[in-house]
Amino acid sequence: MNEEAKGERIAKRLSRAGVCSRREAERMIADGRVSIGGQTIDTPATLVTDADIIAVDGKEIAAPERARLWRYHKAPGILCTNRDPQERPTLFEQLPKDLPRVMLVGRLDFNSEGLILLTNDGALARKLELPETGWVRRYRVRVYGAPEEKALAALADGVTVEGVRYGPIEAFLEQKQARNSWLSVTLREGKNREIRRVMEHIGLKVNRLIRVSYGPFHLGNLARGDLREVPAHVIADQTGAERAAHTRPKPRKPPAGRNKAGVRKHAHRRRNP
């Protein structure tokens, strides 16, 4: 019998129930704050089932909620973190107070903007972020000056910048302006400040960066600061996540070419964009 058949790890259960992250769960367990059936546990590897009564600080936790996913339009000048010592505005401060505990899928840096995915399920977050999933991240990038098309094309082979290896990047010129150029950039890894560092490496200074899609999920017509939940059946169709009973909101007419979840019609996972 495999481990999943026996149950799931307590740290994962606490994460799925929205109590805390797995890492935070490990600390709580080490501090003796978690009990199962009234018995304090000391290892995050402990397996639990739906029949177990789990408590944190003596308070029984709620049953795990189904996996949920939201699209959010991050504005520039917002940090993708819970709190900032410098007291700069953070993404989590912008979210509705009645939103369950959520985690980010694919961060954006302070000055970048566009699509962020949020989920209440740690396993789903990790699945969406893995390069092996094959989902591309697409961006519109504005740079100073006019880029050389040969330099952009060379990024398709990957590039090493200051000892860091970046995978293939598809970049092409969309539009030239008086002092700036707009580029379309597609990548799969999304390492920290990857686009800005790679563009600087080929002599381009990024002055605006907008993520327009993450896999099959698109920014669409979301206004800055707007949050919209992805229907459960769409999550199941696009990620293979388990379907759960849910109430669908009253349908609204989607923008042309996309459905109400910001997913392109007939979208599916592909290795090639």
Question: Which residue in 57, 84, 98, 109 is the catalytic one?
Answer: 109
Q: Please tell me whether residue 133 adopts helix, strand or coil conformation.
A: helix
Who's near 78: CB < 8 A, 6+ residues apart? 89, 90, 91, 94, 110
Secondary-structure percent of the chain, ordered helix, strand, coil, rounded to 5: 20, 30, 50
Per DSSP, 76 falls in state T
Residue 39 exposure: Cα atoms within 13 Å on the Cβ side: 7
Who's near 271: CB < 8 A, 6+ residues apart? 134
Q: Work out the angle between the directed axes of helices 122-129 and 232-239 (0-180°, nearest 10).
A: 50
Active site residue 98: no
The catalytic site residues sit at 109
